[in-house]
Amino acid sequence: MQVLTVGNVFTGGILLRILMLVYGLWQDAHMTVKYTDIDYHVFTDAARSVWMGGSPYERSTYRYTPLLAWLLTPNVWLHPVFGKCVFILCDCLVGWLIVRILAAQKLSDYKCAVYSALWMLNPYVANISTRGSAESVVCACVMAVLYEVQQKRIARGSVLFGLAVHLKIYPIIYAVPLLVVLSDTNFGSSARNQTVSQQLLDRVISWFNVHRAMFFVISASVFFALNIAMYAVYGMEFVDETYVYHVSRKDHRHNYSMWFLPIYLQFYSPTSLLMGLVSFVPQALAVAVLGVSFNSDLYFAAFTQTF
């Protein structure tokens, strides 16, 4: 009898998250050091403000889209643990998408179980969602985008990508490998007998194919539609807290880049903002180069960009 199956992995992963969720409630009630992430309290306070007809940005340090506060209003009127359950659900959705992606690549059920176990049975992963971090929501959106593009459902993937970037700006980096992979070669157009000059011209023109145009137009439309809707409700406060803050933010405590020490040493210097912008350029170039270089494998390209 085979023990390591997809069903068993998911059963174990769900039980692990339930146990950690229950333990977290006990630790919060009985210990000085709390299990719940401080951001979860920020989310809940913002949701309370929304529920009472106010702005989520009335809660200091809330730097996210209002959609998250709206989503978590049941924390106020139903139960404070509701949001954690949503994050756990998204966490498990990522595991399910891993299985679907691997199955689409013709891997055996056993290998699907092994690789999904790296996510579902990983206590570090389970800890993030059960502590109340919203990262699993963004992660689920990104994985869904990659899966939909793999299945050549560009419209769905585009909608999800626009949503993902609205939720948190960093998934914009995956636009590079996604746009590269949406070539006519990968999406069904056949090559013709042409001269070298015609082939070069076609390569240039092919960058503006219908697949890339569809992805760009739909994802951008969703992104801007959500932003316009949020702006209509909350005005410049939404723009400042959700986007401008992160551009101008100086942070020497949550920074693991190679530029940490220079930023730390110049934190109070007038040149510190310039240092932050200069350090961003090589990172942006690296992300772009990686996305293009490994475009033959969309998932590996996204992996190298992330890590």
pLDDT, position 296: 82
Q: Is 81 helix (H, G, I), strand (E, B) or coil?
A: coil
pLDDT, position 261: 72
pLDDT, position 267: 65
**Tokens (6 digits) for 102:** 């691997």
Distance (Å, whole) CA 103 – CA 254: 37
Q: Which residue has the tokens 């049941």?
A: 74
Cα distances from 73 to residues 11, 48, 128, 193, 296, in angstroms, run 29, 7, 21, 60, 42
pLDDT, position 257: 66
Distance, first Cα to last Cα, the chain: 37
pLDDT, position 273: 66
140-161 burial: b if 16+ Cβ within 10 Å, else e:
bbbbbbbbbbbeeebeebbbbb
pLDDT, position 282: 81
- Per residue of the chain (307 residues), give pLDDT as tens: 788 999 999 999 999 999 999 999 999 999 999 999 999 999 999 999 999 999 999 998 899 999 999 999 999 999 999 999 999 999 999 999 999 999 999 999 999 999 999 999 999 999 999 999 999 999 999 999 999 999 999 999 999 999 999 999 999 999 999 999 998 667 655 445 555 555 555 566 666 788 999 999 999 999 999 999 999 999 999 999 888 877 666 655 655 666 667 767 776 777 666 766 777 788 888 899 999 888 788 999 999 998 8
pLDDT, position 204: 62
Determine if residue 33 is left, alpha or beta; phi over 0 gives left, psi from -120 to 50 gives alpha, anything else beta.
Answer: beta
Q: Angle CA(46)–CA(162)–CA(154) in degrees, nearest 5?
A: 150
Distance (Å, whole) CA 112 – CA 107: 6
Long-range residue pairs from 107-116, CB within 8 A, at least 24 positions apart, any chain: 109/5, 109/6, 110/2, 110/4, 110/5, 112/6, 113/4, 113/5, 113/6, 113/8, 113/9, 114/4, 116/6, 116/9, 116/10
Distance (Å, whole) CA 179 – CA 171: 13
pLDDT, position 12: 97
pLDDT, position 157: 97
Listed in sequence order, the DSSP H helices in 34-185 are 38-51, 66-71, 74-77, 82-104, 109-120, 123-130, 135-150, 154-167, 175-181
283: nearest Cα among 254, 249, 253, 307:
307
